[in-house]
Amino acid sequence: MRHFITLDDFSNFEIEQIFRLAAGMQTQLETWAGICRSKLLATLFYEPSTRTRLSFESAMERLNGGTLGFADPNSTSAAKGETLADTARMVTNYADIIVVRHNWAGSARVIAKHANIPVINGGDGSHAHPTQALTDLYTIIRRKSKVNGLTVGICGDLQYGRAAHSFALAVARFGGKLVHIAPKGLQMPTWLLTRLTKYHRHEPLEVENVTDVIENLDVIYVNRLQEERLPPAVDAATVRGSYLLNAEVMKNAKPDAMIMHPLPRVNELAYELDDDPRAAYFEQSANAVPIRMALISSLMGLQQLILTQPPKRNITEASQQCENPNCVTNHETYLLPEQETFNGDTTIQTCAYCGSLIK
């Protein structure tokens, strides 16, 4: 059974195959419509969503499949204290594939462990948002034909932005050069920097202001302040609006740069840029549908040739509890902590659920 919980679940080759299928589905929908007939996608959304849930539903229904699910956990047994494991076991009998979004990091992995059907992570806390990263990469490749060698700036709340995390890992894997642009306190978390440097052998440049690097960027990926995830000690008012991409800033950017944003935007991306031909954010949200069509049909095995061998992972039981208070293992008490090592390097271990470093 294949799941898509983080980018580590697919090889680069498999990701490229998904892009090929998505491109085919985008241009020749009639050929593919019908592939998911009589199949059901369950959308378990414990956190707010517009694009992710609707584009998954649109993708499934365009393939003639059906959807069921919830967008308000207060209307489900989660409000009565039902565990993720029990919900997963039950939904297994109601659907053929699951997409889940939840506030706890590692939650999608719990669903995958307890469901007998493929599970897709639609965003887990501030950890990962791998399907957004596929959409983002695909959008870049459609405009620029490649990622390799491009200078990609990721700007905004890099500490808590899960879309930024998965995007950074994806860009590094495909040979892009990363520039992290964030105000103090919102820089990329240590676990992500460690993965980039140790496992992807990638040293990102880190700066505080977009204006310092704008003329070098091929892609400018903006993301909003994740106010709902900020710890009480961080004053949202002081960081809010501390970064802004507008026409004035874009005057110094390359004429063929791409402006990207996973959306929703709040006040970090000016509306005046919407008519700039470099704006690619609505294209990004449109590309979410063919990407999710390709992903759903591949994970359900309806496209036998696309997914080959899952990349090998080295996961073992951990001797201590994860220190990340938002990790699912600190909320669902039946879970045993697990750790992961990479490339045979046992000096660095990470929580197999939320990716945090284990000290």
Q: Which residues contact 327 (CB under 8 A, 6 or more apart)?
A: 104, 105, 106, 351, 353, 354, 356
**Nearer of residues 122 and 339 to ligand NCD, judged by Cβ:** 122
Please name which of 276, 153, 159 lies closest in space to residue 222, comparing C-alpha atoms.
Answer: 153
Please name which of 224, 247, 220 lies closest in space to residue 154, comparing C-alpha atoms.
Answer: 220
- What track of x and - describes contact with ligand NCD for positions 270 through 309 (by CB under 6 A)? ----------------------------------------
- If binding means CB under 6 A, how many residues of this protein chain bind ligand NCD? 11
**Using CB under 6 A, which of 43, 132, 330, 339 touches ligand NCD?**
132
Q: Which residues contact 28 (CB under 8 A, 6 or more apart)?
A: none
**Using CB under 6 A, which of 162, 173, 180, 202 touches ligand NCD?**
162
Q: Does 165 bind ligand NCD (CB under 6 A)?
A: no
**Using CB under 6 A, which of 102, 109, 129, 202 touches ligand NCD?**
129
**Using CB under 6 A, which of 106, 183, 262, 355 touches ligand NCD?**
262
**Using CB under 6 A, which of 123, 153, 204, 355 touches ligand NCD?**
123
Q: How many residues does the chain have?
A: 359
- What track of x and - describes contact with ligand NCD for positions 194 through 223 (by CB under 6 A)? -----------------------------x
Q: Does 183 bind ligand NCD (CB under 6 A)?
A: no
**Nearer of residues 136 and 218 to ligand NCD, judged by Cβ:** 136
Q: Does 39 bind ligand NCD (CB under 6 A)?
A: no
**Nearer of residues 1 and 286 to ligand NCD, judged by Cβ:** 286
**Nearer of residues 54 and 249 to ligand NCD, judged by Cβ:** 54
Over 333-356, what HEC string results?
Answer: CCCCCEEEEECCEEEEEEECCCCC
- Nearest approach, Cβ of residue 277 and ligand NCD (Å): 22
Q: Does 326 bind ligand NCD (CB under 6 A)?
A: no
The Cα–Cα gap between 142 and 37 comes to: 29
The Cα–Cα gap between 162 and 126 comes to: 5
- Nearest approach, Cβ of residue 51 and ligand NCD (Å): 5
Q: Does 156 bind ligand NCD (CB under 6 A)?
A: no
Question: Residue 150 CA to chain centroid, in angstroms?
Answer: 20
> Residue 226 gets which letter from DSSP?
-
Q: What six digits make up the tokens of 254? A: 């390359």
Strand ranges across the sheet with 258-260: 205-207, 177-181, 151-156, 219-223, 258-260
Provide the 3-class DSSP secondary structure of residue 123.
strand
Whether 100 contacts 111, CB under 8 Å? yes
- Nearest approach, Cβ of residue 333 and ligand NCD (Å): 27
* Beta strand extents in 46-168 (DSSP E only): 66-70, 97-102, 119-124, 151-156
Half-sphere exposure of 297 (CA within 13 A, CB side): 30
- Nearest approach, Cβ of residue 162 and ligand NCD (Å): 5
- Nearest approach, Cβ of residue 326 and ligand NCD (Å): 14
Q: Does 87 bind ligand NCD (CB under 6 A)?
A: no
Q: Does 163 bind ligand NCD (CB under 6 A)?
A: yes
Q: Does 170 bind ligand NCD (CB under 6 A)?
A: no
Report angle CA 303, 20, 39 to the nearest 5 degrees: 35
- What track of x and - describes contact with ligand NCD for positions 220 through 249 (by CB under 6 A)? ---xx-------------------------
**Residue 301 falls in which region: left (phi positive, over 0), alpha (psi -120 to 50) or beta:** left
Residue ranges that bind ligand NCD, judged by CB under 6 A: 51-52, 123, 129, 132, 162-163, 223-224, 262-263
